[in-house]
Structure 1
Amino acid sequence: MSELAAPRKPQAGRDLPVAFAVGLGLVLLVVASLFIRKEAFAVLAVVAVGAALWELAQAFTRRSIHLPLLPLLVGSVGILVSAYTAGPEALFVAFLLTVGGAVVWRVLDGSGLPALRDATAAVFAAAYIPFLAGFAMLMLAAPDGPVRVLLFILLAVASDTGGYAVGTLLGRHPMAPSVSPKKSWEGFAGSLVLACVVGVVGVQWWLHGRPLVGAFLGIAVVTTATLGDLAESMLKRDLELKDMGRLLPGHGGILDRLDSMLISAPAVYLILAVLQPVAS
């Protein structure tokens, strides 16, 4: 039997009791913010995006890249608030203004190759974190926004949980061994099964939609979440980091929890907008 096909021993990469307690606390906080007053979730999203940008800025300094953090933080607030209050067009306009402001800020602070490198990194940071997070704000703005956002989050959690559980117990065939050795095709299958179940149940119970829409959502979220995980793994490998931060005990940093959700947000928003539009 080849080395790739050999059974893997379960690897406890994190403190499971602490990770479970922190994860449960985050879920309760998110649910409370969504259903007590959904503007509270928007505030929570602004805080999370700001923390993720700060983590990314700290990580980039390992490669002598210095993000213009102040304009990015101010622009992030504008992006999220604009998406929530004024829709997709405002999201794109606010993103462009944020990118322009960050680039000008960095160029005025110095010229040459370092400024060009930092400005390019600022464009990446703005697109990767607040712009993608803005699609969650677009979902939140709908009359049934809290339900849509909750379904989106539960789909991402199901993908992560299903992949971790099945991958740890049965994972034998690494998906991308040079990027993320612990991620396996068996775990990917576990993610698909659990996410599709959550999608079908959630769409039927909460949105009164067709099971096929829920299954489609599950497949889309697992695909995008896996790509997001692998992309961040590549970034961390290049930066020689295990985690992007330490703000969440048992989980790493805020960005380590948001990586899959950020990439999935546009997919969930578009699928729901087309296949499960808000009832008029």
Structure 2
Amino acid sequence: MTDTPGASPDDEGVPPQPRRDAPPSRPDLSEGQDPSQAFQEHMRAMRTGVESQMAHARAEFDQANERIKERTGRDLIVAILIGLAIGGVLLLSLVLLKWIFILFALVATVFGVLEITRALNVAGRRVDVAPQVGAGVVLALSGLLADLWLHWVMTFVAVVVVAVWRLIAQMVAVDERSPADVLADVLTGGFVQLYVPFMASLSLVLLRQDGGEWWIITFILIAVVADTGAYVSGLTLGRHPMAPKISPKKTWEGFGGAALAALAAGVLASIFMLGLPWWTGLIFGAAVLATATAGDLGESMIKRDMGIKDMSSWLPGHGGVLDRLDSILPSVTVALALFYLFTPLAVT
């Protein structure tokens, strides 16, 4: 065997290594292959790899979304997109075009009344749709147009109208409904007016106050942030049920996350949006947390009593209008009360 200069006997059978100063290697081209064709093949291979990685990531995301949906009963992506759209419309309407918020409040009132009326009728109660919607719209508008004393008068009138309507409708009916059931129907009809239209009217009372739009943004922000905090902490850390007989998926860990989020949002909003001392934000956040939690559990109890999961399916990923307003409607009461209490403390 002829020795190669610079090679040792131990290198026998080992292919010679390229020199260190050799130019970098280029992709091998088949004999007679066009360089542009080789580039296209290289790009196709890259695209295939990227598509494979995207498909793998999408599969993992879908699996995670299904696990979340199995635990919470909601489609997370759809819920987030619809929530962001509604939140964006509300924010723009309050800051730029208040009449849009007024229209939004009236539409929410009508849909909310229709939802709860239909659910109650299915559950065996008798609640009349036409007077409920008509009285509800008038009551909601009175919060915007009437003086405060007249607004309270309209609230009383709305309850009386739906009660008398139900009594008259029962008298002309041919069935033998028991007096206890009739009384329950009358009380339920009055509750509908106080739960949906009256609460919505308070938001319009707050809107007509000087700077009231910022108070509306603040209490809605605190309620939404608290709900998000409860969702995230409950989903990741939830172990101990909070009210298993009412809402089995709500946990104390979720409530803790909601409390931290609500207090933080309350402090920041009070300082930067309302011009109030930081400690008022703690009170605001705690008050909204209490009413939002009570409203959420209260509607869960109502739905459990009626044997339904959602009030309707008008909002994909959320359920019905009242399923999204269950924590917001009661919170407007404390927002209006705190407006009158804290406004003198605002920094001018």
Is the pair's TM-score, using the shorter chain for normalization, greater than 0.5?
Answer: yes
Q: Which moved more, 1:15-24 or 1:103-112?
A: 103-112
Gaps of 5+ in 1: 1-8
**Which of 131, 135, 138 pairs up with 1:75?**
135
Q: Which residue of 2 aligns with 1:222?
A: 289
Distance 1:216 1:57 in 2: 35
Q: Which segment drifts farther, 81-90 or 173-182?
A: 81-90
Q: CA deviation at 1:43?
A: 1.4
Larger deviation, residues 91-100 vs 107-116:
107-116
Determine if the alignment matches structure 1 residue 177 to structure 2 residue 244: yes
The reply on whether 1:195 has 2:195 as its aligned counterpart is: no
Q: How far apart are 1:209 and its partner, in Å?
A: 0.5
- Taking structure 1 as reference, are residues 60 and 215 closer, same or farther at Cα in structure 2, changes over 3 Å only? same
Q: Which amino acid aligns with 1:65?
A: R
Once the two structures are TM-superposed, the CA of residue 63 in structure 1 deviates from its matched residue by: 2.2
Relative to structure 1, the CA distance from residue 152 to residue 87 in structure 2 (aligned partners, 3 Å threshold; closer, same or farther) is farther
Separation of aligned partners in 2, 1:278 and 1:265? 20
Task: Give the Cα–Cα distance (whole angstroms) in 2 for the partners of residues 278 and 142 of structure 1.
Answer: 16
Whole-angstrom CA distance in 2 between matches of 1:96 and 1:262 = 19
Give the deviation of 1:15 after TM superposition.
Answer: 0.4
Please identify runs of 4+ aligned residues in structure 1 that moved more than 4 A: 277-280
Task: Give the 5 Å matches for 1:1-280.
Answer: 11-111=71-171, 113=179, 114-277=181-344
Larger radius of gyration: 2
Q: Could you tell me how far apart the structure 2 residues matched to 1:274 and 1:146 are?
A: 16
Secondary structure of the equivalent of 1:204? helix
% identical equivalent positions: 37
What SS class does the counterpart of residue 183 from structure 1 fall into?
strand
Deviation at 1:78, TM superposition (A): 1.8
- Separation in 1 of the partners of 2:312 and 2:284? 30
Structure 1 residues 171 and 68, CA, compared in 2 at 3 Å: closer, same or farther? Answer: same
Contact 2:277–2:345 at 8 Å: present in 1 too?
no
What residue identity is the alignment partner of 2:123? Answer: R
Matched residue, 1:6: none
Once residues 132 and 344 of structure 2 are traced to their aligned partners in structure 1, the CA distance between those partners, rounded to angstroms, is 32
Could you report, residue by residue, the CA deviation over 1:92-136 in whole angstroms, capped at 9, with x for unpaired residues? Answer: 111111011111111221236354332221111011111122221
Whose relative contact order is higher, 1 or 2, with alpha carbons under 8 Å and at least 6 apart?
Answer: 1
Q: 1:253: how far off? A: 0.3
Q: CA deviation at 1:277?
A: 4.5
**Contact 1:91-1:131 within 8 A present in 2 as well:** no
Report the TM-score, using the length of structure 1 for normalisation: 0.92
**CA deviation after TM superposition for structure 1 residue 188, in Å:** 0.8
| Whole-Å separation in 2 of the counterparts to 1:260 and 1:181 | 17
